[in-house]
Structure 1
Amino acid sequence: MTTNAEMLRVLEINLRNAEATLGKDSTQYQDIMEVIEFYMSGLDAGQGQCRSKKSESAKDQELNSEKSPFANLVFRSKT
C-alpha cells in the first residue's frame, strides 16, 4: 500500500519524464497534470471530511458511514 507522499512522488517523476520527453504541450503531460490535480483535490476533500467527522460522536459516525459494497471481497491465489 502506498502512502500519499509516495504516490505524489511517482506522479512527479512521471510528469518530469513526460515534460522532458514530449514537452508541456503534449497530451500525456496534460493527462498526468489532471491526475495530480484530481488526486490533490481528493486529498483536500478527505482532510476536510476527517476534520468534520472528528467533531461528531462515535454513534453518529456509525450511522453516517457507508460500507463499501466490496469491503468483504477477498482475493485468493489459484492453487
Structure 2
Amino acid sequence: NPSCCATTLDDISALVQDIKWYTNLHNIAPRAVLGLVTTFRFVATSVAKLMKVALISASCLAYDFHDEFTIDINKSLH
C-alpha cells in the first residue's frame, strides 16, 4: 500500500499554515491576502490530489511490474 505522497500533502498543509501564521502575526489581513491564501490552498490541494493520484498509480504499476517480473524469474528458475 504505497503512501509515498503523504509527505507532499503534509508539506503543502504546513506551508498554508505558515502563511496564515505570518499574516496573523503582522496583522496583514486585507481581502487580497486572504484571497491569495485561499487561492493558494485551492491550487495546492488540487495539485496535491493530482500528484497523489499520479504517484499512487505509478507505485501500483511498479508493484505490479515487480510482482510479474518476480513470478517470471521464479518460473524460469524452477
**What TM-score comes out, normalization by structure 1 length?**
0.48
TM-score, normalised with respect to structure 2: 0.49
Greater relative contact order: 1 or 2 (C-alpha under 8 angstroms, separation 6 or more)?
2
* Structure that is richer in helix per residue: 2
Q: Rg: which structure is higher?
A: 2
